[in-house]
Structure 1
Amino acid sequence: MPGVCARGLSHGERKQLAVNLTRVLALYRSILDAYIIEFFTDDLWGTLPCTWQEALDGLNPPQLATLLLGMPGEGEVVRYRSVWPLTLLALKSTAYALAFTRTPGSQTPSEFLENPSQSSRLTAPFRKHIRPKKQHEIWRLGELVKKLSDLTGCTQVVDVGSGQGHLSRFMSLGLGLMVKSIEGDQRLVERAQCLDQELLQALEKEERRNPQIRAAGAAASGAGPPVAAESGCPSGPPGPGEPCGSLLHPGSAAGPAGGDPDSTGPAALPSRAGLPC
């Protein structure tokens, strides 16, 4: 399926593309924000214009894919069984015009040149259990948040819907940000707690092998090695101006395993000296 390649656009063209995308997304927000289950629970079919219902009613999934997405089988010609309303045809044409290309570029991103399955921008502890696409997203988003935090003087970051906490861990332990994570799914919270401990143990082993890491972390925090909590986990938030600890020996976080004491979420890891990512 052809599409837009932002890499070849000028700055002005990219701004216009963003404006067009925002306009279309806002216009069809009621469709885009819906979950599949809501099709049945909220009668989403009934919210479509009657002319759309007449055009789409009775089509099976392969036919819908062919007509809406332009994905005919080999040797198959797209044929409409009825005249489609202009609004539906306009949506299809607009989606084609604004969609990003699904065809990969000729050049492999530099971060995956050495290993297509491991981003070179993330150090090994932060890549574990994460697919390449997610590794790329975590690095790019983490660096963006770090840059914005530095520019605005922001001292704390809240990761809402943090899932298994991959991004939170990178921003906290990798980029030295003070991060609070909020997640409503208890299963993801428990998984995040396990991954928190796994990463901290891996970093502690690395520190024992390379003592200079602790020295770098202590220098960055302006204090000597902090005293570890009895359980090995943070116990309480540091006071104003207090150091949060070095890279491998965390200071304190709010609550035993979550963002705020009254919220549900994976461990809110405090600020550390960052790893060279």
Structure 2
Amino acid sequence: MPGVSARGLSHEERRRLAVNLTRVLALYRSILDAYIIEFFTDNLWGTLPCSWQEALDGLNPPQLATLLLGMPGEGEVVRYRSVWPLALLALKSTASALAFTRKPGFRTPSEFQENPSQSSRLTAPFRKHVRPKKQHEIRRLGELVKKLSELTGCTQIVDVGSGQGHLSRFMSLGLGLMVKSIEGDQRLVERAQHLDRELLQALEKEEKRNPQIRAAGATASGTGPTVATEPGCPSGPSGPGEPCSGLLQPGPSAGPTGGDAHSTGPTALPSGTG
């Protein structure tokens, strides 16, 4: 499916694109914000205009993909069994015109050149169980929060809706921030705690092989890892320090913006908080 690429757009063109996207999203928010289960529980089908229902009723998923997304199969011709309402056709054309392209850009990001499934800027402990796209997001967002922390002097971070804790884990153990994670889904909390234990076990094994890791962490934070005094608080350092080496350091290939390490203390997520 073709789409828009922000690369090469001027500042004014990007502004107009953002305005158009905002307008369309606001107009169809009731549909876009709905969960699949609400299609059944809240009768979302009944909220569509009758003319839309008549045009779409009875179409199977492949037919919907062909007609709505313009994605016919090989040798298949797009055929409408009836005349579609102008509003539905307009939405289809608008969505196609404003959708961002799914095709890769000019080149693969440097962090995925060696292995498209693993970011070279995150060490193995932070990549485990994380998809490539999420690895990139964790690194970029974590580094942004780190910079904001340094600029503002704020060293305590709250990750609301932390899910499995991948971002919280990286900010706490990878970037040395004091992080409190809040997640309302007990299943995700338990999964996050399981991944915490996995990472801490890997860290302990690495410390036994390389005792300098803990010493470097203590030097970086000034006093070493502190003990959490409140349930759900990680027992990481009280603030950001200088990078230390070892398990959490991506290595020279990561470049100057790679995820540096500041703490070797454990991180904990609240049990059922949220």
- Counterpart of 1:247 in structure 2 is 263
- 1:107-146 deviations in whole A, cap 9, x for unaligned? 2210011222210111121111212222112112212222
- Counterpart of 2:189 in structure 1 is 189
Is it true that 1:258 corresponds to 2:274 in the alignment?
Answer: no
- Counterpart of 2:71 in structure 1 is 71
- Cα separation, 2, equivalents of 1:155 and 1:133: 27
Give yes or no for contact 1:207–1:248 (8 Å, CA) kept in 2.
Answer: no
Kindly tell me: are residues 177 and 65 of structure 1, through their superposed partners in 2, closer, same or farther at Cα, counting changes over 3 Å?
same
Kindly state the Cα deviation for residue 235 of structure 1 after the two structures are TM-superposed.
5.4
Kindly state the Cα deviation for residue 170 of structure 1 after the two structures are TM-superposed.
0.4
- Counterpart of 1:42 in structure 2 is 42
Kindly tell me: are residues 154 and 12 of structure 1, through their superposed partners in 2, closer, same or farther at Cα, counting changes over 3 Å?
farther
Which residue identity does 1:186 align to in structure 2? Q
Kindly state the Cα deviation for residue 226 of structure 1 after the two structures are TM-superposed.
4.9
- CA root-mean-square deviation: 2.5
Kindly state the Cα deviation for residue 99 of structure 1 after the two structures are TM-superposed.
0.7
- Counterpart of 2:94 in structure 1 is 94
Which residue identity does 2:222 align to in structure 1? G
How many residues end up aligned between the 2 structures?
249
TM-score (norm 2): 0.81
Q: Which runs of 5+ in 1 are unaligned?
A: 266-277
Give yes or no for contact 2:158–2:179 (8 Å, CA) kept in 1.
Answer: yes
User: Secondary structure of 1:180's match?
Assistant: strand
Which residue identity does 1:264 align to in structure 2? T
- Counterpart of 2:176 in structure 1 is 176
Kindly tell me: are residues 155 and 200 of structure 1, through their superposed partners in 2, closer, same or farther at Cα, counting changes over 3 Å?
same
User: Secondary structure of 2:7's match?
Assistant: helix
- Counterpart of 2:254 in structure 1 is none
Kindly tell me: are residues 203 and 65 of structure 1, through their superposed partners in 2, closer, same or farther at Cα, counting changes over 3 Å?
same
Q: Which runs of 5+ in 2 are unaligned?
A: 241-261
- Counterpart of 1:5 in structure 2 is 5
- Cα separation, 1, equivalents of 2:168 and 2:225: 22
Q: Which moved more, 1:199-208 or 1:148-157?
A: 148-157
- Cα separation, 1, equivalents of 2:202 and 2:88: 54
User: Secondary structure of 1:264's match?
Assistant: coil
- 1:223-245 deviations in whole A, cap 9, x for unaligned? 1x457x7xxxx55479xxx9479
- Cα separation, 1, equivalents of 2:118 and 2:57: 45
- Cα separation, 2, equivalents of 1:27 and 1:151: 38
- Cα separation, 1, equivalents of 2:52 and 2:203: 56
- Cα separation, 1, equivalents of 2:134 and 2:74: 33
- Cα separation, 2, equivalents of 1:235 and 1:201: 22
TM-score (norm 1): 0.80
Aligned pairs for 1:265-276 within 5 A? none
User: Secondary structure of 2:51's match?
Assistant: helix
Kindly tell me: are residues 15 and 203 of structure 1, through their superposed partners in 2, closer, same or farther at Cα, counting changes over 3 Å?
farther
Kindly tell me: are residues 32 and 243 of structure 1, through their superposed partners in 2, closer, same or farther at Cα, counting changes over 3 Å?
closer
Give yes or no for contact 2:6–2:14 (8 Å, CA) kept in 1.
Answer: yes
Which residue identity does 1:171 align to in structure 2? M
- 1:68-115 deviations in whole A, cap 9, x for unaligned? 110112222212222222211111111111111122235221001122
User: Secondary structure of 1:8's match?
Assistant: coil
Is it true that 1:222 corresponds to 2:222 in the alignment?
Answer: yes
Aligned pairs for 1:126-137 within 5 A? 126-137=126-137
User: Secondary structure of 1:104's match?
Assistant: coil
Question: What is the identity percentage for the equivalent residue pairs of Structure 1 and Structure 2?
Answer: 84
Q: Which moved more, 1:32-41 or 1:129-138?
A: 129-138
Aligned pairs for 1:188-207 within 5 A? 188-207=188-207
